């Protein structure tokens, strides 16, 4: 079956703009998590959604937001982009509700802010 799909794969935005990234989880997976990967900070947890509800949130400013739709697809939005937001944004989906199943990651969206 199809894996986690993230679109677009690459984005170039200007400081101050906003951006929306999309994630389609594996069919049947209801948990979707987002991570930011940068050379300096490594992989950092942004937030996690389950059945359209945000269950966990990492230590990121309010400019970072997300949502999940009834079909489990998820979007994340970053407003008022800063140069430091340049990163690979990874989405992961999981089958279970209890954190016991592994997360499957998409290939990521590479965001460059200029």
Partner 1 sequence: AQSVAQPEDQVNVAEGNPLTVKCTYSVSGNPYLFWYVQYPNRGLQFLLKYITGDNLVKGSYGFEAEFNKSQTSFHLKKPSALVSDSALYFCAVSSSDTGRRALTFGSGTRLQVQP
**Three-state secondary structure call for residue 84:** helix
Query: What whole-number distance in Å separates Cα of residue 104 and Cα of residue 81?
Result: 27
| Binding residue (CB under 8 A) for partner 1 from 7, 51, 71, 107 | 107
* DSSP code for 8: -
60 lines the binding site for partner 1 (CB under 8 A): no
Q: Pick from 22, 25, 24: which is nearest to 89 by CA?
A: 22
105 lines the binding site for partner 1 (CB under 8 A): yes
> Least separation, in Å, of the C-beta of 89 and partner 1?
10
Instruction: Catalog residues that contact partner 1 under the rule CB under 8 A.
Output: 4, 6, 31, 33, 35, 42-45, 48, 50, 55-56, 58, 90, 92, 94, 98-100, 102-108
């Amino acid at each position: 079956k199809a894996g986690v799909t993230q679109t677009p794969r690459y984005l170039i935005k200007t400081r101050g703009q906003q951006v929306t990234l999309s994630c389609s989880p594996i069919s049947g997976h209801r948990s979707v998590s987002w991570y930011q990967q940068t050379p300096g900070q490594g992989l950092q947890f942004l937030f996690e959604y389950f059945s359209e509800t945000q269950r966990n949130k990492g230590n990121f400013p309010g400019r970072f937001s997300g949502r999940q739709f009834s079909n489990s697809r998820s979007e994340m939005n970053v407003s008022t982009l800063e140069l430091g937001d340049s990163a690979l944004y990874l989405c992961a989906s999981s089958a279970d509700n209890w954190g016991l199943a592994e997360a499957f990651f998409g290939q990521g969206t590479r965001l460059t802010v200029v």
